[in-house]
Amino acid sequence: MAQYDLTLRDYWRILHKRKMIVIFATILMGVFSTFFAVLQTPVPSYEASSSVKIERSSTLTGLYVETLSWSSADNLETQAIIIKSYPVIEEVAKKLGFLDSNLTSDEIRRDTKYLNVVLKLKDQVETKREGFTNLVNIIATSEDPKLAQKLANTVAEVYRDQNTKERNKRIIEGRVFIEQQLELAKENLKEAEEKVKEYREENKFISIDSETGTTLSQLTSIETEHEGLKRTIEEINSILKRIKREEAIPGKDIKGIYADKVGPIFARLNSQLVDLTLERDTLLLNFTKNHPRLKEVKTKISETIQNMIAELSDQKKTFEGRKSNLAGDLDRLRSKFRALPEKGLMLARLEHDLTVKSQTFSLLESKYQEALIKEAEKVEEVSIVKPAVEPTSPVNSPHVYTTSFIGVIIGLIIGLIMAFVFETLDTSIGTIEDVEKFLEVPVLGVIPHVGDEDIKSIMLSEGYPENTDEEIIRRNARLITHFAPNSTLAESYKKLRTNVHFMRMEKDIKTILYTSSSPFEGKTTTVINLAIAMAQTSEKVLLIEADLRKPMVSKLFGIDKIPGLSDIILGNYEWRDTVRTITDFITGDMKIDDIMKTPGIDNLNIITSGTISPNPSELLGSQRMEDFISQVREEYDVVLFDSCPVLAAADASILASKLDGAILVYHVGKIARGALRRAKAQLENVKARVIGVVLNKLQTEISPDYTEFKYDRYYAYGEKRKTPSKPKRWYRRSKEKLEI
């Protein structure tokens, strides 16, 4: 893209050059938007609307109900939701005939098929409050306009009827409920009275104070007796310990402390034990321990002690049994004493419950009288103010054309953006002015781009038979100036010849190097056709295949490349012995008819590349090369050198420094401007004289400036030819494209 301020003409050039991007983006977006618009076209849907007016009750009874059921929620919003509630829609479905009117709500809800019918109708109904009024719009949607109308009207009617029924139903149900509650309160009051009475009778006290005194007296008496038994048992345990040590109880103790506890039997056994103990002690004074009499006394002592222990044990068990009984009585009296405050509290609670239930009963009697008054009235809050009418047009009209138009506009915008983006990213040079300003050398020729079918059409129009090998067609197309001299493409080379001729005359130039910045820019085809065009003007032309790395001239003319330029420089051949003339063309791949097709080719001589050398740069830079150039310069009117690309190897730079001038061949729109500038700079660095540039393979899409260079297969200057019919597709498709 040119690096200067853009004018309207430059914008038009960019759009013309990138028009396929714009067209493609526009068509693609248009097609996609149309496709999706058609794909998403909805089924026509119709809407019908009816309106209901909802007012609060103004009667005394209505005000009473509103007071009882007061809520902070918006009543109209609540009613709007109720309008499309399940019970209302269920009744609507029955009225419209979608459901059997004999079906119950439970049957409908248990059956999925019936339930789906109700839910589908529910989805088709919407409600909306009308501003800040007490009107609610009922909007019904359906694919059938008549059904939409009936649905909206039926929903309004069903809601009105159910609202009236519901409001009056609440009044009746309220009265019945109060009756039930009143009867229940009466029973509860009677039950509370019975509980108070039964509790007093069950606990057998009139007041809590008298019951407390009696219980405390009994508790004190039993505790005293219990403590006495406890001390008696302890004394018996003490006596048992002494007896087991074989100690007799002194008589004074028996008669004192223990007399009322041990009994006469124990006293007699104790006296016997005292006598036996005394007898034992007396015998011990006269006899040993083993004396029979002493043993007998000891046996009696043991028997007496066992009898005493048995007697005391029996008495102990009797006292312990009595103690246990007293302990039970003591616990019972203590529990009773502790429970006396709780029973008093329980009695207070029962009396309080009796008072509350008495008050509830009185309140319900008052409410019951109010409910009877309210039942005499009838509440109507809903009225239909606008019935629905049948809709005439759907609410979801398709927007295919609008969507398609928007898609086309978006595609056009995207295409324009992409066109300028591609142009900005394009580093090639477009217009002739750009090239001349960028390189500061004139454009000597413009060679248009010709497509495959156009080339083949030219060849067929020149009389080639249909069974001609495609390889021959492709080769001869590279020699278009000879095989189709009247074609527009050949005329382009002739224009180049004219410009080069005047350049030569003006600057005294005879030896010219043709090169390019990069491979595949068409330099070989250009120099060959220029050489043929010059030969057709009777100039003696020498074409030298100086591309010693990838020679193509010899291949296109069908002649041997050995011996050639490399052999001349190496001294293996005299240069005149290597010159190829028309005789060599005839003996080569070209036929005599091809040679004689256009006059002037006999003025063209060719020196091929010769033996491929491993060091072509050294050969071209040698003194022998300079001597050879001097000799051929004297022999020919013009000497054209076909060299390798400048940036690919140093051959072209070396050779250009030895010649009168160099011409760059530039593939328009493909090669970056940087590569072209580096090629020119590299030539100028070796003091080469760049005299011009040839724009090759130019397409008219690059700029409107090139419209005059557009190829016309049916036009040629001179005798008018018969317009050939479109050739038959006798040729096979080639994967390669012709390099013109």
H/E/C letters for each residue in 238-282? HHHHHHHCCCCCCHHHHHCCCHHHHHHHHHHHHHHHHHHHHHHHH
Q: Tell me, yes or no, whether 485 and 617 share the same domain.
A: yes
Q: Tell me, yes or no, whether 532 and 420 share the same domain.
A: no
Would you tell me how many other CB atoms lie within 10 Å of the CB of residue 19? 13
Q: Tell me, yes or no, whether 659 and 514 share the same domain.
A: yes
Q: Tell me, yes or no, whether 655 and 698 share the same domain.
A: yes
Cα torsion for 482, 483, 488, 491, to the nearest 10°? 10
Q: Tell me, yes or no, whether 648 and 566 share the same domain.
A: yes
Alpha-carbon gap, residue 728 to 720, rounded angstroms: 23
Residue 668 lies in a domain: yes
Q: Tell me, yes or no, whether 566 and 419 share the same domain.
A: no
Residue 86 lies in a domain: no
Record the pTM: 0.47
Give the per-residue pLDDT at 734: 35
Give the per-residue pLDDT at 706: 46
pLDDT, tens digit (0-9, with 9 covering 90-100), for 406-459: 888 888 888 888 877 776 665 555 566 767 777 788 888 888 877 666 676 776
Q: Tell me, yes or no, whether 415 and 506 share the same domain.
A: no
pLDDT, tens digit (0-9, with 9 covering 90-100), for 469-513: 667 777 777 888 888 887 888 888 899 899 999 988 888 899 999
Residue 305 lies in a domain: no
Q: Tell me, yes or no, whether 419 and 515 share the same domain.
A: no
Residue 415 lies in a domain: yes
Residue 24 lies in a domain: yes
Q: Tell me, yes or no, whether 569 and 617 share the same domain.
A: yes
**Where does residue 697 fall: left (phi above 0), alpha (psi -120 to 50 degrees), or beta otherwise?**
left
Strands 125-129 and 135-142 turn out to be: antiparallel
Total count of domains within the chain: 2
Query: What CA–CA distances, in Å, run from 336 to 60, 176, 213, 256?
Result: 59, 48, 12, 40
Q: What is the CATH number of the domain that holds 559?
A: 3.40.50.300
Q: Tell me, yes or no, whether 551 and 627 share the same domain.
A: yes
Q: Tell me, yes or no, whether 402 and 475 share the same domain.
A: no
Which residue pairs from 249-255 have beta carbons closer than 8 angstroms and sit at least 24 positions apart in sequence?
none
Spatial neighbors of 128 by CB under 8 A, at least 6 apart, are 80, 136, 137, 139
Q: Tell me, yes or no, whether 594 and 491 share the same domain.
A: yes
Query: What CA–CA distances, in Å, run from 732 to 287, 462, 726?
Result: 163, 20, 16
Looking at the chain, the number of H-run helices and the number of E-run strands are 27, 11
Residue 717 lies in a domain: no
Strands 46-54 and 382-386 turn out to be: antiparallel
Helices (H), 376-447: 400-425, 432-439
What would the two tokens of residue 667 be?
A: 């593939």
Determine the structural domain holding residue 15 and report its residue range. 8-41+398-425
Residue with the larger pLDDT of the pair 539 and 440: 539
pLDDT, tens digit (0-9, with 9 covering 90-100), for 541-550: 999 999 888 8
Report the first-to-last Cα separation within the chain, whole angstroms: 25
Task: Say yes or no to pLDDT of 662 above 50.
Answer: yes
Spatial neighbors of 550 by CB under 8 A, at least 6 apart, are 644
Judged by average pLDDT, the poorest of 19-33, 346-360, 569-583 is 346-360
Residue 690 lies in a domain: yes
Residue 690 forms beta bridges with which residues?
Answer: 662
Alpha-carbon gap, residue 625 to 631, rounded angstroms: 10
CA angle (143, 147, 149) in 5-degree steps: 110
Q: Give the pLDDT mean for 577-606.
A: 83
